[in-house]
Amino acid sequence: MTGKIKVLLVEDNYMNKVLVREILTINKYEVIEARNGIEALGVLARDRPDLILMDMHLPEMDGITATRIIKSNEAYRDIPVLAITAAVSKSDEEELLGKGFDGFISKPVEFKDLLESISTALRGKKPGA
């Protein structure tokens, strides 16, 4: 037990992945990664993240499909899933919430927005706490 909060980052874009990983690592989160929805489900079968950051457009299986599968499984349903998505309208936001996402982070990803969204989704639970 490290006491760290474990975040599963599902992202196929190299630069986005590096950016998010750096922000989270600097802030004492543990980051595990998957490149698409199928890999994400594979990770869930053997590991238990506290939260999932899910890109929408992914090869093999997209973020919406993967999230639908995650949220339909009782074993994974409680894990918050935040969509990483290009700037969205109010109706896009509502549509995402209807698809099971617990929130969203706008691209380009901003340091403060990312950390606040994660903290909100975890109800204030902090790394190392």
Which positions lie near Mn ion, rule CB under 5 A? 12-13, 55, 57
User: Minimal CB distance to Mn ion: which residue?
Assistant: 57
7/34 with CB nearer Mn ion: 34
Shortest approach of Mn ion to residue 66 CB, angstroms? 12
5/54 with CB nearer Mn ion: 54
Q: How far apart are CA 111 and CA 107, in angstroms?
A: 11
Q: What is the dihedral of CA 94, 97, 99, 104, to 10 degrees?
A: 110
Burial label, 103 (beta-carbon count in 10 A; 0-12, 13-18, 19+): middle
Decide: 92 and 107 in contact? Cβ < 8 Å: no
Shortest approach of Mn ion to residue 105 CB, angstroms? 13
106/119 with CB nearer Mn ion: 106
Cα 81 to the center of its chain, rounded Å: 5
Shortest approach of Mn ion to residue 14 CB, angstroms? 10
Shortest approach of Mn ion to residue 127 CB, angstroms? 26
Burial label, 105 (beta-carbon count in 10 A; 0-12, 13-18, 19+): buried
Residue reference for tokens 């998010």 = 20
28/57 with CB nearer Mn ion: 57
